[in-house]
Amino acid sequence: MSASPEYELLKERYDLAGYRLISLKEEQLLADPYGEYFRKEAKFLLDGSYEDLMPERYDSSYTNPVYAAKVFGKEMGRLLSFLSYELTSIIPLRAEGDLRLEDRTILCELFLEVYTAFLAETEADADAESSARPVPETMADIIRPVIRNFITDYTDVTVADRIRDLVDPSRDFAKRIIMEADLSDPAYLDLFGEYVNDDTRRLASFMSSLPEEDIRAMAKTFTGGYIKGFETTGKDISKKKTVNIRYNLGFERLVKASVESFREAGLDVTIYRRPLHAAVRGGLTRIGYCGDPVNEQMDYDHREDDALFLDKAFTERKLEVARNTFEEVKELAAVFGGPAVMERFGTKDFDPVNHDESWSFTDEQRRLKTESRARYTEIQNEYIDPEERSFTIISYPVPEIGRDFEKIFKETVNINTLPYESYQRMQQCIIEELEKGENVEIKGKGGNLTDLRISLANVVDITKQTVFENCVADVNIPVGEVFTTPVLKGTNGLLHVSQVYINGLVFRELKLTFEDGYVTDYSCSNFDTVDENRKYIEENILHHHKTLPMGEFAIGTNSTAYVMAKKYGIFDKLPILIAEKTGPHFAVGDTCYSREEEIHTYNPDGRELIAKDNEHTLEYRKSDPVKAYYNCHTDITIPYEELGEIASVDDKGNRHIIIKDGFFTVPGAEDLNVPLKGMI
């Protein structure tokens, strides 16, 4: 079959770019250090590898904004460091061959356009002994719009492809590897084009060694949780045809079994790569399938690279492309059921270093980014109805967690399959005790300074209504929590955790102060200065909002998970998915029922959940949905051992104790203490 004219034209563009790169890597037309920069990056585009990006080479890498600023000055250094980091995506793009020919072409053309702009703005050196052209001091002002315009112009490729990858199962590069490769040989990992460290190769070997019946059982837990999520919320899964699996490399054998299990349930699968282009990256998030970070400090230094081009014109263009693309794929979007996420835990902590040379948002850009994210979500919700979709999340350890990996893995599998019936019964007892009060008080002990009062929604008819959801293992695996949406007015006090691990980042001595439900002050001890610590929290917990409300108060009941973490000394390694089940936790941002407030949800006892809104969502969600939602929800857990007391307090001041010194005191829930004895 002959190639299409569009492909032939694209191939011609790519070949021309390649020929130009080959000649450029030897050219001496620009004076150093600029000439050296372009020669080195041209070589990288032609045959660079992850070895070029390793931490030990970072001090002299152009992807390092500190080094680039030292060589070229701060402004030009940031621009060229941005470009170098953008070029790193050429490595995974090569793996997909012609499937990503357009992506590779525009990446090479961006680099060449910048180089051509340098040549056009330079003049021959007066020194007769050199033909190299010096770069004018105003060059940064010329290069900046070149990069910005290029990023904006090509959103119809970068943004559109991201949406198509989400809903179209025929875009199956990764899925074909998973379903067709020999998964008994870890060499298959190299087919993805991602960076893969030795730990992930050990994980793949370990997964290969497990009995088939164990893999099948784990897959059934994963897919069963997804399907149960539809059932418990009264959604019709028969309307859906696709589900998106997101995971870290190394779990392919389990993913393959999950694909087969989903297919047995009538669902096809999409599996797409982490975001590569600046227009869709969005900070440190790596949503999709991904390998290991080759250099976490490099990624951290470039987390706000979109500050280079983020303006109203870009956001409007991005939103326009998003709407047009969703319209093109609306039939696929309508039958998309939501994500099934397989997380990992146990990797080494990463302590980032802040650098002034990195790109960073202005206050206006933070506002614009927050607003555009909300508007994008509203567009997506028009085509993928949140009232008809669901999700599930599960997590497993990786060998990097330590010498007890296999034991921890086995115990995690056990935790993920705990019998929900007994937890359901014990949690009902806890809910009934909580409902005796109109607020809940939480106090830390020892060095934990937590002192919080949570206001609860009013129940009109206790026989038919409830404030707390009795959560068993469905969308959030493993089992074990009761949760509610706090009333903001009257929710006051200090939340303190000595150490917590959130989205891959460690926070030490984290403190959040709440007044009428909103964060009013915050601090941690990760960095040397108050400003650095506040910025760290603003970026990774507040997600660039000036403040956030408390969207959830919950009590985790999975004492078995707590004991596992305590026994192996891995509490700081637990993902929030498991950590939130090991003590009381508090989420800042949206409620657990975001965009599903109108859906009727019932506990196993038949009573309806009424605490779905707070004052903020009630004010805005019908009149101004963009303003109603923050598009983030970050859980922070206090471990049992730092917990002095949780008590519901009624209107007469009577205290109904739920937990005292880390142990449950509610009649009927005593079995939750069995694993804790001797551990607290």
369-427 pLDDT, tens digit per residue, is 988 988 999 999 999 998 899 999 999 999 999 999 999 999 999 999 887 788 999 99
The predicted model scores a pTM of 0.87
pLDDT tier for residue 1 given thresholds of 50, 70 and 90 = very low
Report which residue type is found at 324. Answer: N
Q: What is the mean pLDDT of residues 553-560?
A: 94
pLDDT of residue 128 exceeding 60: no
Q: CB-based contacts of 271: which residues, under 8 Å, 6+ apart?
A: 172, 174, 175, 178, 244, 245, 246, 255, 288, 289
Residue type, 344: R
- Quickly state the pLDDT bin for 452 (edges 50, 70, 90): very high
Q: Which has more pLDDT, 459 or 625?
A: 459
CA distance 217 to 442: 38
> Has residue 124 got a pLDDT over 60?
no
169 cis-preceded (ω within 30 degrees of 0): no
Q: How far is CA 664 from CA 456, 628, 654, 661, in A?
A: 20, 36, 18, 9
CA distance 511 to 505: 16
Whole-number pLDDT of residue 121:
82
Cis peptide before 275 (omega within 30 of 0): no
Instruction: Answer whether residue 474 shows pLDDT above 60.
Output: yes
Residue-wise over 229-257: b if at least 16 C-beta within 10 A, else e? bbebbebebeebbbbbbbbbbbbbbbbbb
Q: How far apart are CA 407 and CA 404, in angstroms?
A: 5
Predicted pLDDT at 472 = 76
Confidence of residue 125 (pLDDT cuts 50, 70, 90): very low
CA 38 distance to own-chain centroid:
33
Question: What is the per-residue pLDDT for 475?
Answer: 74
- Average pLDDT in the chain: 93
Range with lowest mean pLDDT among 176-185, 236-245, 554-563, 619-628: 619-628
Read off the tokens for 253.
């054998």
Report DSSP letters for 145-188, one per residue. HHHHHHHHHTHHHHHHHHHHHHH-TT--HHHHHHHHS-TTSGGG
pLDDT of residue 299: 97
Residue 134: pLDDT above 80?
Answer: no
C-alpha count within 13 angstroms, C-beta hemisphere, residue 159:
23
On whether the CB atoms of residues 588 and 547 are closer than 8 A, the answer is no
Q: Which long-range contacts (CB under 8 A, 24 or more apart) does 653-660 make?
A: 654/436, 655/441, 656/433, 656/434, 656/436, 656/437, 658/430, 658/433, 658/434, 658/440, 658/555, 659/555, 659/584
Angle at CA 409, nearest 5°, toward 407 and 411? 70
Q: Where are the domains of the chain?
A: 5-153, 162-393, 418-655
User: What confidence score (pLDDT) does residue 500 get?
Assistant: 86
pLDDT level of residue 80 (50, 70, 90 thresholds): very high
Sign, CA torsion 383/387/389/391: positive
